A and B are shown apart, each in its own frame.
Chain A
């Protein structure tokens, strides 16, 4: 069982490393994200959102669902820790 899980982990690690080779290079100006998405944000965020900070516009408006999920992740981690550490304690 242990051997199987190690083999499975190595297999997935190899898959991830193999998939990494298909990613665009860092800072590559021809990467899809830099050809379509970045110019869109730079050009339109000021008129569409109105915040001068493009990072905040992307984080808070264009990808608001993502930020909601991040907040939920932090909240869930905190609640899980509170439940584990608070278990068995008597509260008056």
Chain B
């Protein structure tokens, strides 16, 4: 299951067309979560689809992230969320009080009407996406047993 598929068509379609598009679409879902349907959980699931497709179609030599990298992503995602919450506490706010994030004077100046609070919301969405992507991808690796015949010291 973790060997390359072997077909040059499957390899080409997955590597050149599908995986880049899936990743691009995931970032669209992530960024668009500010204005419409979308957000961190959905973007993380879509990113995990790209990770799993790279494992199924390309095998372990050409896959896009290693198992260890996925675990690090999961941890980093939760840390991004928690630290985004901690940061305002050093600037006179409370936990997860994004309005006190140390981003100077973006209220209504940068990007039209982007407020500091919505930047904080985007930061936590990014953390959620990283966490969901890392957890889902690492679960796939462990369930298929792909993480312990490692060529990448995984």
**Chain A residues close to B by CB (< 8 Å):** 48-53, 55-57, 59-61, 64-65, 67-68, 70-72, 74-75, 77-79, 81-82, 85-86, 89-92
Contacts and interface: CB of A to CB of B under 8 A. Distances in A.
Given A60-B125, A77-B135, A78-B134, A49 B115 contact: yes
Interface of B: 33-37, 39, 41, 71, 74-75, 77-78, 81-82, 85, 96, 98, 113-115, 117-118, 120-121, 124-125, 127-128, 131-132, 134-136, 138-139, 142-143, 147-148, 150, 153-154
Contacts, number: 99
Given A49-B115, A61-B98, A78-B74, A68 B81 contact: yes
Contacts of B115: 49-50
- Main DSSP-derived SS at the A contact region: helix
A67 B132 CA distance: 12
A2 to B, nearest CB: 32
Contacts of B131: 71, 74-75
